[in-house]
Homo-oligomer: A and B are copies of this chain.
Amino acid sequence: MNTSSTSPAERPSVGFIGLGIMGRSMAGHILAAGHRLNVFNRSRDKADELLARGARWCATPGEVAANSDVIITMVGYPSDVEQIYLGADGIVARAERALLIDMTTSSPELAVRVAEAARARGCRALDAPVSGGDIGARDAKLSIMVGGEQAAFDQALPILKLMGTNVVLQGGPGAGQHTKMCNQIVIASTIMGVSEGLAYARAAGLEPSTVLQSIGGGAAASFQLAVMGGKMIAGDYAPGFYIEHFIKDLGIALAEAQRMRLELPGLALAHRLFDGLAQQGHGRLGTQTLIKHYGG
């Protein structure tokens, strides 16, 4: 399974399901490394470029699973993950001694159920959500947070390293999703602080970009302040990360926290504010649009 010392024919065949902006880039890296690639996506046209490069189209997720040693999924919502893995003619039903890797940001509890169902069928499963966005996917510089058994992680590592530079096993099944939830929880309140600081700056008659000169390099410094703060100031609401996807993630985190009887009022507040923006029709704008809540 060492991709660098084996011939193409010996390399595991990989199935990739979910060819959104990130999925297409990620699948492309796997193809470029010489793996046979089977693909499926709800809208077939998203597969065109990969098919032109030699990938093979499959009509269903089950067909991908039946023909691949490693099956990777990068879809939208936990409900999609559940259907694709656990549904009739789904991955678990059709895969044979395969390694299943769900890279969707999804529910930790569902990751555990998928791992159990996979094991019952003689397969291994990992949850491996990512951070780094479109650009991280394009440049193969994602951070990949993995949950599952060590042996499955070791088996997956050469393939995961085709997509990411920071691949860390965080614990057993669900631990990758839990880690991604930590990431989103930190971001939720951080971007709220950035929005409130810049809204205050405007209200006080300051020049926000000059304020950033003073506060951008010290204890207030963050990726969110530098990148999203800059977009807020420029009035650029184009999506790097959709509000509607962030609401999905924060909803999962809130449900998990509630299940663990952990109260996270900052997370709950941020979820409420983003939800308000989505209800105003901003769900397909970027998360930096939070500044609009404050009149920005």
| Chain B residues positioned under 8 Å from A170 (CB to CB) | 206-207, 210-211, 214
Q: Is there contact, CB below 8 Å, between A262 and B294?
A: yes
Given A185-B193, A266-B269, output 4 extra A-B contacts at Cβ < 8 Å: A182-B198, A182-B206, A196-B264, A222-B222
Q: What's the nearest-Cβ distance from chain B to residue A231, in Å? A: 13
Q: Which residue of B lies closest to A182 (CB)?
A: B197
Q: Is there contact, CB below 8 Å, between A179 and B220?
A: no
Q: How large is the interface on A (under 10, 10 to 19, 20 to 34, 35 or more residues)?
A: 35 or more
Q: Which residue of B lies closest to A208 (CB)?
A: B182
- Chain A positions 115-171 with a Cβ under 8 Å from a chain B Cβ: 131-133, 136, 143, 145, 166, 168, 170-171
- Alpha-carbon gap, A211 to B178, bound state (A): 9
Stretch at the interface among A43-51, A52-60, A65-73, A252-260: A252-260
- Alpha-carbon gap, A176 to B271, bound state (A): 32
| Chain B residues positioned under 8 Å from A215 (CB to CB) | 131, 143, 145, 179, 182-183, 186
Q: Is there contact, CB below 8 Å, between B175 and A206?
A: yes
Q: Is there contact, CB below 8 Å, between B219 and A224?
A: yes
- Alpha-carbon gap, A266 to B266, bound state (A): 7
Q: Known: A170-B206, A221-B222. Contact between A214 and B264, CB under 8 A? A: no
A76 adjacent to chain B (CB < 8 Å): no
Q: Which residue of B lies closest to A181 (CB)?
A: B200
A267 adjacent to chain B (CB < 8 Å): yes
Q: What's the nearest-Cβ distance from chain B to residue A64, in Å? A: 28
- Alpha-carbon gap, A188 to B178, bound state (A): 24
Q: Is there contact, CB below 8 Å, between B183 and A219?
A: yes
- Alpha-carbon gap, A194 to B222, bound state (A): 12
Interface centre among A189, A227, A270 (most CB of B within 10 A): A189
The listed residue (B136, B145, B194, B204) touching A186 by CB distance below 8 A is B194
Q: Is there contact, CB below 8 Å, between A219 and B269?
A: no
| Chain B residues positioned under 8 Å from A277 (CB to CB) | none
A190 adjacent to chain B (CB < 8 Å): yes
- Chain A positions 205-256 with a Cβ under 8 Å from a chain B Cβ: 205-207, 210-211, 213-215, 217-225, 227, 241, 253, 256
